[in-house]
Amino acid sequence: MTRGGRLAAPRSLSPGMRQLVLAAFLLCPLGQAAAQPPPAVPQTTPAQIDRVVGPWELSNPAGDRKCDVTFKAERAGPGFGLGFAASCAAIFPAVTGVVGWAVTPNGNIQWLDRTGAATFDFGETEVGIFEALRPGDPSVYFLTNRGLAGTTLPTADELTGIWTLGQPRGRALCTLTFKPELAANAGPLEQRFTLDAAEGCERSVAALGLSSWRLERELLVLQGATTVLSFKRDPDGRWTKVPADNRPLVLSRE
């Protein structure tokens, strides 16, 4: 509205009205930012799952209560199959409702109930040894991987040098050089190093475009443009691809 051809000054808002306007502003989504989807959650890798499969032991801190647990690779309900020794439920009543297991992207092991809810969340404290605390439960639970406990983690210095990638009982497929220099596209906090494949590699291996390597705990990870291969160290010093799937591979020293 105008007065004498001039715009009238806006009336000031009452204190109550100002509070309503402020509340409405805070509740409104901020443009397109509010409509953007959340960032993608990293997916668990097959190597992380393969690392868990096998015999374990569940125990208390003192070690005077324990029972055998078997992690299976077959799907079961909301996760993968889990086998408890007959004595487990009597020794640890909290496991009664557990029907399966899963591993999180950061390597934690979770035990799931029939609805898929995590009733135990085990975090690794040493190589192959995991610990869990439960809300409202005074007990501390230890989960020990019988194949990993007590082993030492490999170091980058141990792996630097020339290796042969091949079939477990067959011919060599490619010669790989593990270099100590960081890979060209490695992030500032990544410990990912340069990997060179020699000329004359078997065609299917050359097509992988392997260009970097890194260590993830006890796993050795080779990476190409679109390919990731994971290997686990054997007692004889070789490294075996995990999971082996339809094309088992091994790395051995020149």
Q: For 64-95, what is each residue's pLDDT tens digit?
A: 999 999 999 999 989 999 999 999 999 999 99
**C-alpha separations of 66 from 58, 127, 157 in Å:** 5, 19, 38
User: Which secondary structure element, helix H or strand E, spans residue 24, and what is its range?
Assistant: helix 15-27
**Least reliable range by pLDDT among 42-56, 124-138, 147-161, 166-180:** 42-56
Q: In this predicted structure, what is the pLDDT of residue 43?
A: 61
> Do 205 and 211 touch, CB atoms closer than 8 A?
no
Structure tokens, 232: 């686990």
Return the bridge partners of 243, or none: none
Nearest to residue 211, comparing CAs of 189, 183, 182?
A: 183
Does the structure show a pLDDT above 70 at 29? no
CATH T-level fold of 46-145: Lipocalin (2.40.128)
Does the structure show a pLDDT above 90 at 249? yes
Q: For the chain, how big is the Rg over CA atoms in Å?
A: 27
Same fold: 46-145 with 156-253: yes
Query: What distance in Å separates the CA atoms of residue 224 and residue 213, rounded to the nearest whole number?
Result: 9
**What letters, b where the CB count within 10 A reaches 16 and e where it falls short, cover 191-201?**
ebbbbebeeeb
Domain 156-253, architecture per CATH: Beta Barrel (2.40)
Instruction: Report the pLDDT averaged over residues 233-239.
Output: 90
Tell me which amino acid residue 126 is: E
Query: What distance in Å separates the CA atoms of residue 212 and residue 209, rounded to the nearest whole number?
Result: 9
Query: What distance in Å separates the CA atoms of residue 49 and residue 74, rounded to the nearest whole number?
Result: 11
Q: In this predicted structure, what is the pLDDT of residue 30?
A: 39
Domain ranges of the chain: 46-145, 156-253
Q: In this predicted structure, what is the pLDDT of residue 243?
A: 83
Whole-number average pLDDT of the chain:
83
DSSP secondary-structure letter at 36? S
Per DSSP, helices labelled H in 41-86 are 46-52
Q: Tokens 């040894």 correspond to what residue?
A: 129
Q: Which residue has the higher pLDDT, 105 or 115?
A: 115
Does the structure show a pLDDT above 90 at 201? yes
**C-alpha separations of 84 from 66, 70, 100, 253 in Å:** 11, 6, 11, 39
Q: How far is CA 175 from the centre of its chain?
A: 29
Instruction: Report the pLDDT averaged over residues 202-221.
Output: 92
pLDDT grade for 14, boundaries at 50, 70 and 90: low
Angle value at C-alpha 225, between 180 and 202, nearest 5 degrees: 80
> Do 96 and 89 touch, CB atoms closer than 8 A?
yes
Q: In this predicted structure, what is the pLDDT of residue 25?
A: 43
pLDDT grade for 222, boundaries at 50, 70 and 90: very high
Per DSSP, helices labelled H in the chain are 15-27, 46-52, 88-91, 156-159, 203-206
Question: pTM for the whole thing?
Answer: 0.62
Tell me which amino acid residue 216 is: E
